[in-house]
Amino acid sequence: MERVVQCLAAKASLTGKRILVTAGPTREYIDQLRFISNPSSGKMGYALAQEAQKRGAEVTLISGPTNLSPPNGVHFIGVDTAQTMYKAAAKYFKANDALIMTAAVADYTSAKQIKGKLKKGPQELSLSLVPTTDILTQVSRNKGNKLLIGFAAEVEQLLDNAKQKLKRKNLDLIIANDVSQPGVGFEVDTNAITIIDKAGQIEEYPLMSKQRAAQIILDKIAYIWEQKNAG
């Protein structure tokens, strides 16, 4: 019976909370047909949105293009570019208690989108790229008491890079994963995560399903809220 009570408590641990999740890749268009993107499948973000909804949270999911169906009961907003994702995140962040930024947002976009289709020619082609808006940095300026959770997909110096991002973007948690490892990160159903909090505490977890990783991350978020309430 005690085990059942614990399970029910965990599922209801986010009742009354409003959580904004971003997921998937962005597309930065060169012309009307071609774009710069990345292999993010959106699976981690969708798993987090689904699990948060199951635990009683009111969830808004902002997603770049994926092959996934939005989870039942989740307010879904589809976007494509980094700029449209930024506008949606800035708009909905105000009404939410936390932002979980799992989306793999492009760091650069084409300085100029060519109208129509760029035709192939014999000459070399150079693209001018400019930085996209840093969504987490921008929304953190109006953070207040909200929680900000970021992800760091790295191929080297995992902990150092994640810690720097945590501090630079004023995050409460960062979820780091080494996407150079088999079964981790993009286009797979599994993930191996390292969670780092503002106090510098590090928790490492082995390869597991993204659904299980979502449960662990949301347990951590719920714990932070419990500590804030207790304080």
Closest by CA to 79, choosing from 92, 63, 60, is 63
CB 83 within 8 A of CB 107: no
Joined together, the tokens standing for residue 167 give 């501090």
Joined together, the tokens standing for residue 208 give 């597991």
Residue type, 147: L
CB 132 within 8 A of CB 28: yes
Per DSSP bridges, beta strands 58-63 and 75-78 are parallel
Active site annotation includes 38: yes
Joined together, the tokens standing for residue 72 give 């039942």
**Catalytic residue of the set 38, 72, 145, 170:** 38
CB 184 within 8 A of CB 190: yes
Joined together, the tokens standing for residue 84 give 């449209």
Joined together, the tokens standing for residue 100 give 């979980």
Active site amino acids: 38
